[in-house]
Structure formats: structure tokens, C-alpha cells
Structure 1
Amino acid sequence: MFTAIAGVYDLNYDDWTNDGILEFYWGEHIHLGHYGSPPRKKDFLKAKSDFVHEMVRWGGLDKLPSSTTVLDVGCGIGGSSRILARDYGFAVTGITLSPQQVRRAQELTSPEVNAHFQVDDALALSFPDASFDVVWSIEAGPHMPDKAQFARELLRVLKPGGILIVADWNQRDDRQVPLNFWEKPVMRQLLDQWSHPAFSSIEGFSELLEATGLVAGEVTTADWTAETLPSWLDSIWQGIVRPAGIVRFGMIGLIKSLREVPTFLLMRLAFGAGLCRFGMFRAVHANVPTSEMLSTQTGDRLTCPP
């Protein structure tokens, strides 16, 4: 059923969810935190929940009425979905390819919170056209082998006039500044370490969204690299300031955690040096029938700019 990205979105996500290590150190939000501009010292877990509120404000979602319908694409264990439902009154559907993430999200969500979760494929969503007022996604894009299809699906299920808001890891646009001799192996290592097929550039993914013909005007973007950069070292620091994790997860947990440290350091280097950027995207769905616009593109396969 999920052939589109099952090979990339590795079953390790089920393992990470089941063993509880990632949740213990990263909390309910499996994404970076927001530390302000300029960045200031902040608790790691608070920075993550702050990120959700900052993204809501940046996207103008705080001006929307309660009962607004939201699709959270790549919801993880539901941290963002719960905030959107609990604090803003939205009706949220979260989707992930991991059955264990769905199970854990359901366990963490109290009955009065209007957030529901299901297994689904972001490259072949099961929802009809024009199903949601808002489509929301944090750090799901790097998992997608077909960025153009990802862009189409995000917009396909959005209602005319609805808002798409995406936050993602991106690489520098190498059409403007090609990767040099040391940047190429660094990027390859980052992709291989977490089984990511590719990073888009901010410019490239914006072009893919606009190329669907479903965007009113232009895509709005922002670079939140500085605001999120402290997350990488803070994620390592959690293992020091929270020694209870060693007691709870034992030697196996310690080895699993230490294994990620070199990648976190490499990520910090890549984002700090400008090889990678943290991109924000906001688009409004054009007032045209989705099926009509996409049907004009049949057989006209889009390619992914860097």
C-alpha cells in the first residue's frame, strides 16, 4: 500500500518509537526547536513547543477560526497536532507511515483533544481533493524521494483559499553556489546516516510548489537557520543533563544515543556553515479546482530542482 516511500521512511521509526529513547530525550516533538531571533538560551523541550507556536504565527494560522481543519503530514507521535487542536481549537488529522507512531500518538492524546491519527503515505494521500483548510508539515520533506509529487499531494488535499505551511531541512541551492569538494561528502554522509534520499533547496521546493499551478501568487519563504541552530548541540547536551536516561535504558540505550552524536555534530557544522538551511514555506491554494489543474499536467512529470 505504501510503496511510494516505504523503502525510504525506514522501519527504524517503529523501533525508535517502541524503545522510547527518542521520546525521552526529544519529548513529543521530533523536530528542532525555536530559540528566538537572535537565539537565546532556552530549555530544549520548551524550544520545540515554542517552534509550533512560532510557526502558527508566521503562517497566520492564529487568525483562523476554531474548528479549522488541519492535516499534519509527518505527524510523528503527534506533538504538533495536539498543540494545534488544544491551543487553537483546530480539528487535526495527523498522518505518518509508522504504525507505532500512530499508536503512541493515540496513547498521548486525551479524548477531549480533537486530534486523530492514521497511517498514510504522504506521496499518495488517501484523502479526496480539497479536504482541509490547512496542510501543515514539519521536517517531512527530506524523507520524500519525489519532491514534486510531495508538493502536488500537499496542495491537492488543500481547499481553494486554504493555507499550506511547511518547515524543512534544506540544502543550499547549488545552482547558485555549487557544493565544493568537502561539502559533497558531508552532504552524502548526512543523507546516508538517516536514510534521506535528498534535501531540496528553499528555492527549488518553492518552484515545485508554484509549478503545480495550485498556488495563488508566489510562495512565501523564510530562513530559520539561526533560530533553530542551537537545537543540534542541545540535543547532545540532553544526554548529560538527563542522566536518568542511562538508568532507564541501560547500556544499549547509551550506545544507541552515542551513535547519533557524530551526525548531530555534522548537522550543526552543515547548518552553521551555510551548507544546509532551515526553510519555511507558506502558500495559499488558488481558487481553481484541484483535479482540473492537475489533470492538465498528466504525463508532464515535474523534476525536482536542487
Structure 2
Amino acid sequence: MNLFYFFGLPLIVLSIAIAVYLLTARRYQSSESVANSYDEWTEDGILEFYWGEHIHLGHYGSPPKSKDFLQAKSDFVHEMVKWGGLDNLPRETTVLDVGCGIGGSSRILAKDYGFDVTGVTISPQQVKRAQELTPEGVNAKFLVDDAMKLSFADASFDVVWSVEAGPHMPDKAVFAQELMRVLKPGGLLVVADWNQRDDRQKPLNFWEKPVMRQLLDQWSHPEFSSIEGFSELLVETGFVAGEVTTTDWSQETLPSWIDSIWQGIVKPKGLIIFGVSGFIKSLREVPTLLLMRLAFGTGLCRFGMFRAVRANSVSPSAEAISQETVSH
């Protein structure tokens, strides 16, 4: 009997936990399922409590060094600004932040760089919270919009900025088209995203396939693109001048995954604020965070950075697609 309690009971509990984790996956169904997921995460406040204003990874330097979790997230925005060349742009530059979350990046771009920022997300609750967090006088506004069919006219913005929104997009070619379409000629696209290794060059092996399946299913992702594949899709829009510049920030962002779990330990106040149900919700995300750490640490996933300039003239096919998109 004692052996059962020592070995058997923990195994039963673990088996039940794994079954619940797998059976309650938040699989991508539609843009509405993505919106509902983010509405829920925003309404309960747990994600904001642990992750702050920035629902994205942090930048820990190159090589990475120990850093405060929330500071690393803020640093990420400034590093992305520098990498993208946005720090050379004048104040009042118009910026579209696609997949803005609760507006952390948008507010930094507006406050620290003087840009005129419009943030869009598919989640009404995120828009509401972003508006609540934005002080008077900060030139950032937030709208509900779908990145697969942006409501803005062609050539509307000087800069299009997007952080970790791509995995939620069911058609990466349409996503690429929309990002480039709303850029003004000579405008700058800067994207940071989670990417899968290019399986055209090296197919996924026996353990990588189930890991990727969970990374997709647990957080409402239809698929990850590869860095190479998404670069090709940007070029194929017909809007890109020259080449797409890319780099891999996997090592710079890698500590974020374990740091995000560590927040649950160093912020015990969360147990008081959110209670047992909040603790269970938080605990449920740990396996996915560990799988993310495994995937990015082994090269199964890569953190891709993309920079492109919109051409002054575009191909006839791109212009036709652009006009069709606006008419719809």
C-alpha cells in the first residue's frame, strides 16, 4: 500500500494531468478562435501580471546575459528599432503595429521615438486594455482589425511593425501581402517572429513532429513559417525593393522561456490575486513553455527577424491584388 502511494498515485495524477493538457488544447479553428483566446487571457489578467505590457519575448544581449524579465522585453523593442533602422526616422513617422497585443511596443514607439502609432489586434479585449494603459498625450491609438484583411488603404504607413503575430496567420502569403500592401513606397517593414526550421532542407524527425504539433495546438497556431519561406513570400508580393534582410535572434531571446516560468515563483502574490483557478491556469502553460525552450534551443524553431523596403513601383500582379483587397 505504501509503495502505491509513493509510486502509483503520483503516476496516476501525472497521467491525468497529461491527458487534460492534451484534451484541452486551444487548436486554431478560425480568426475568431484566436480572438477568443486573447480575449480570455486579457480578461483574467494573469498573462499581464506575469509578462507585463509586452506579450513577447525579451532580448538578453549577444551573447545572452542575466537580465530582469520585464526589462528584457522593453529592451527587445529598442533592439528591434535599432536593427530595423527606425532610430534614423523622423518624429511623427506613421507606424502600423500589427498584432499589437495590449500596446506595449506601440507605447514605446510613440513615447520614446515620437512616432504616430496605430496598433491593431483581432482581440477587442486587448484593444480595450491597450487604451486603458495608454496615458493622455501618447500618440498611439488602437483598433480591432484582422491582419489577413487589413482595413487600411494601400500605401498608408511609413513603417509596418509586427512582433510574434505570424504563427496565428492561416495563410502566410496573404499575411505577407497585407504587410507590404499598406506600406508607402520607400516605407519600411520590420517583423519579428517565431519560425520553424525550413523542413524543405531538413525534414522534421520522429520527435520533432509531435513537439511542433503541440506548439501549434496549445496556443491557437495554424502553422509556423520558416525564415527562408516567409522571406520568399515577401518577395513574391511584388512590393519588395531589393532583398529581404533576415537574421536569427534565437540565442538573444532564448532565456525568456525559463524566465517566464520563473515569474510564477518570484511573484507568489499571483496566488493571492488569482486564487487556485489562476494557479492551475498558469501551471497549465508550463509544458508548452518547456517545449518552446526545447524547440528554440535545438534549432527546431528559430526566432526570425525580417526587414524589407517597399519598392517605388510594383508589379502589375501585385497592383491588381492590392486593388482587389481594398475593394473587399
Q: For the residues of structure 1 that align with 2:157 and 2:125, how far apart are their CA atoms?
A: 25
Deviation of residue 111 (structure 1)? 1.4
Match of 2:70 in 1: 45
Q: For the residues of structure 2 that align with 1:190 and 1:197, how far apart are their CA atoms?
A: 10
What does residue range 159-178 of structure 1 map to in structure 2 within 5 Å? 159-178=184-203
- Alignment partner of 1:125: what SS? coil
Deviation of residue 7 (structure 1)? 3.8
Partner letter of residue 166 of structure 1? V
User: 1:118 and 1:169, CA in 2 relative to 1: closer, same or farther beyond 3 A?
Assistant: same
Match of 1:232 in 2: 257
- Alignment partner of 1:133: what SS? strand
Deviation of residue 15 (structure 1)? 1.0
What does residue range 71-86 of structure 1 map to in structure 2 within 5 Å? 71-86=96-111
Aligned alpha-carbon RMSD (Å) = 1.6
Deviation of residue 297 (structure 1)? 8.9
What does residue range 138-157 of structure 1 map to in structure 2 within 5 Å? 138-157=163-182
Q: For the residues of structure 2 that align with 1:168 and 1:15, how far apart are their CA atoms?
A: 23
Runs of 4+ in 1 over 2 A off after TM superposition: 289-294, 296-299
Match of 1:22 in 2: 47
Match of 1:196 in 2: 221
Q: For the Cα contact (< 8 Å) 1:8–1:145, is it kept in 2?
A: no
Match of 1:245 in 2: 270
TM-score by length of 2: 0.88
User: 1:84 and 1:248, CA in 2 relative to 1: closer, same or farther beyond 3 A?
Assistant: same
Deviation of residue 243 (structure 1)? 0.5
Deviation of residue 293 (structure 1)? 2.9
Identity %: 77
Deviation of residue 294 (structure 1)? 3.1
Name which of 242, 245, 251 aligns with 1:220. 245
Name structure 1 gaps, 5 residues minimum.
300-306
Listed one character per residue, the Cα deviations across residues 238-265 of structure 1 (whole Å, up to 9, x for unaligned) are: 0001111111111011000000000000
Match of 1:304 in 2: none
Partner letter of residue 65 of structure 1? P
Q: For the Cα contact (< 8 Å) 2:238–2:317, is it kept in 1?
A: no
Q: For the residues of structure 2 that align with 1:207 and 1:283, how far apart are their CA atoms?
A: 12
- Alignment partner of 1:128: what SS? coil
Considering fraction of residues, name the structure with more helix. 2
Q: For the Cα contact (< 8 Å) 1:156–1:290, is it kept in 2?
A: no
User: 1:5 and 1:117, CA in 2 relative to 1: closer, same or farther beyond 3 A?
Assistant: farther
Deviation of residue 10 (structure 1)? 4.1
Partner letter of residue 268 of structure 2? P
Q: For the residues of structure 1 that align with 2:317 and 2:174, how far apart are their CA atoms?
A: 16
Listed one character per residue, the Cα deviations across residues 143-180 of structure 1 (whole Å, up to 9, x for unaligned) are: 00000000000000000000000000000000111101
User: 1:292 and 1:273, CA in 2 relative to 1: closer, same or farther beyond 3 A?
Assistant: closer
Q: For the residues of structure 2 that align with 1:291 and 1:130, how far apart are their CA atoms?
A: 16
User: 1:252 and 1:178, CA in 2 relative to 1: closer, same or farther beyond 3 A?
Assistant: same
Q: For the residues of structure 2 that align with 1:123 and 1:106, how far apart are their CA atoms?
A: 23
Deviation of residue 289 (structure 1)? 5.3
- Alignment partner of 2:241: what SS? coil
